[in-house]
Amino acid sequence: MMQETLIPKLGVVTDIRIDTPDVKTFRVVGLDGKKVFDHMPGQCAMLSIPGVGEAMFSITSSPTNTEFMEFSIKKCGCLTNWLHAMDVGQQITIRGPYGRPFPVETELKGKNLFFIAGGIGLAPLRSVINYVRDNRQNYGKIKILYGSRSKQDLVDYHEILDEWMADDNVEVYLTIDRPQDDWDGHVGFVPNYVKEIDLDLDYNVLVCGPPVMIKFTLANLKELGFQETQVYTTMELRMKCGVGKCGRCNIGNKYVCKDGPVFRFDELDQLPNEY
């Protein structure tokens, strides 16, 4: 039987973790208790509550997690409001995986990796970070810079503290935008912090966050001497089909859902500036 792309499968939400005041992480498995499908880091899935809406979300969990998938979702629209209001045990529809993943098995293999994330931008990178940590022997040095508005807005804070920071093979730098009482770490915006970190130019950089953060981060990376060919990001545009046919996420001759969402900056440079 031919694979149906527009007919979803059923999933059930088995755990809901409150990450920040507006981000929750949802654990999803199939009705048989197993993972609904396999994916690669950076790929996305279409989640839906019929009658409410369907939207594309990056898969936050690592492919190395063989038991379930996770989605860290920020409350910002009709569907996400609904998802935030639901309880464990709710069934949802899911289809995917969609898009081109981060090239973890090709271009990035064996390389030093520098992850830069802002706010909910950690969601797609978390999948890569945990994939790389689980295949540690295949990669060089790893640095992670993550910033948010405040300590309360740091997504996956406990995982960062308990696992990433406890890992001797990973360097983690956290920052928040403004000082607050219970924070003794770095304070300041992500793009500026990038310039304060001791960094060789042989890193490949994976960056995701709000557009303005990405813009200034890229500028500062270039100032430090990084080439656009070393920097990757993942994009977000309105999507409906997920397979490059409905036309919505078309930029130039690319479809973000199919040819992206992961792009290298030299590839983005070839496209019209319309994102």
Partner 1 sequence: MKKLPVSKIQELFAAIRAQQTLYIPTDDASGQARYLPWQEGMELTHALNTVRSAKDFFFPQTENLVEFKLKGKEIEIIDSRTEQDDFVIFGVRACDARSFTILDKVFLIDPIDTYYKNRREHGTVVTLACTQPEETCFCTTFGIDPADPEGDAACWIAGDSLYLKARTEKGEKLLSALDNLLADADEGEIAAQQKATRDIAQKLPFAKLNLAGFNGENLNKLFDSKKWPELSEACLGCGTCTFVCPTCQCYDIRDFDTGHGVKRFRCWDSCMYSDFTLMAHGNSRNSQVERFRQRFMHKLVYFPANNEGEYGCVGCGRCLAKCPISMNIVKVAKALEGEVQ
Please answer whether residues 56 and 238 qualify as being in contact, where contact means their C-beta atoms are separated by less than 8 angstroms.
no
**Nearest to partner 1 of 142, 257 (CB atom):** 257
Tell the smallest beta-carbon distance from residue 201 to partner 1 (Å): 28
Contact call for residue 240 and partner 1 (CB under 8 A)? yes
Contact call for residue 275 and partner 1 (CB under 8 A)? yes
Q: Could you identify the residue written with the tokens 């060089």?
A: 140
Contact call for residue 85 and partner 1 (CB under 8 A)? no
**CA end-to-end span of the chain, whole Å?**
37
Among 65, 93, 152, 192, binds partner 1 (CB under 8 A): 93
CB atoms within 10 A of CB 180: 12
Among 82, 237, 264, 267, binds partner 1 (CB under 8 A): 237
Tell the smallest beta-carbon distance from residue 41 to partner 1 (Å): 21
Segment near partner 1 (CB under 8 A), from 33-41, 70-78, 129-137, 185-193? Answer: 70-78
Q: How far apart are CA 258 and CA 245, in angstroms?
A: 9
**Nearest to partner 1 of 196, 269 (CB atom):** 269
Among 65, 90, 192, 220, binds partner 1 (CB under 8 A): 90
Among 21, 33, 225, 252, binds partner 1 (CB under 8 A): 252
Segment near partner 1 (CB under 8 A), from 50-58, 101-109, 194-202, 225-233? Answer: 50-58
CB atoms within 10 A of CB 183: 16
Please answer whether residues 39 and 128 qualify as being in contact, where contact means their C-beta atoms are separated by less than 8 angstroms.
no
Contact call for residue 94 and partner 1 (CB under 8 A)? no
Catalog residues that contact partner 1 under the rule CB under 8 A: 2-10, 50-54, 76-78, 80, 86-87, 89-93, 236-238, 240-241, 243, 245-253, 270, 272, 274-275
